[in-house]
Amino acid sequence: MSRIGKQPVALASGVTLTVGGDNTITVKGPKGTLTQAIDRDIKVEVNGSEVLVTRPTDQIRHRAMHGLYRSLISNMVKGVSTGFTKQLELVGVGYKATNTGNTLDLSLGYSHNIIFDVPSEIKVVTETLKGQNPKINLEGSDNQLLGAVAAKIRSLRKPEPYKGKGVRYSDEFIRRKAGKAAGK
């Protein structure tokens, strides 16, 4: 058995999970509603306040999907009850971030500002404190969408290893390299 797949998912208070006829999972909670299509072979059962995910056989395909769908359901339940957050940090001289609604205006050292439209499901907050790097806070209930948006923003100027400049996650560690002068 999959170590992750056999664990039950606990439903938080105020969260309801329904399984549709075409094996579509719908999770409703205080932070919104999320849906996910599940493979037809994987069975999802709701027993009171917990959800069990089972597989029919020990085929490689079934074993691969067992833990995956259990993790996706767990993330959906956590997302509609408490939500997810990601924080990005802009490191570099003159790097700035401002937002108007869900439109992010980034100044990342290029000859032009980058205008980035964030999906409406995600809430964006930018903060610039004196003496600190500008920060971008992203909040949302869909963990997959939140991670994809954060990765896209980070890809606009990835952190480089020599001076450490770029857009990074706030908890990310950048391995620094010595420059050419260190070889002498």
pLDDT of 182 over the 70 cut: no
| Percent of the chain with pLDDT strictly greater than 90 | 85
Give dist(CA 130, CA 106) in Å, integer: 18
Q: What is the enclosing helix (H) or strand (E) of 177?
A: none
Among 39, 66, 67, 50, CA closest to 16: 50
Give dist(CA 174, CA 163) in Å, integer: 10
Q: What is the enclosing helix (H) or strand (E) of 36?
A: strand 32-37
pLDDT of 128 over the 90 cut: yes
Q: What is the pLDDT of residue 104?
A: 95
pLDDT of 184 over the 60 cut: no
Statement: the pTM of the whole predicted model exceeds 0.85 = yes
What is the arithmetic mean of pLDDT over 29-50? 92
**Residue-by-residue DSSP string for 46-73:** EETTEEEEE-SS--HHHHHHHHHHHHHH
Instruction: Note the Cα 108 to chain centre separation in Å.
Output: 23
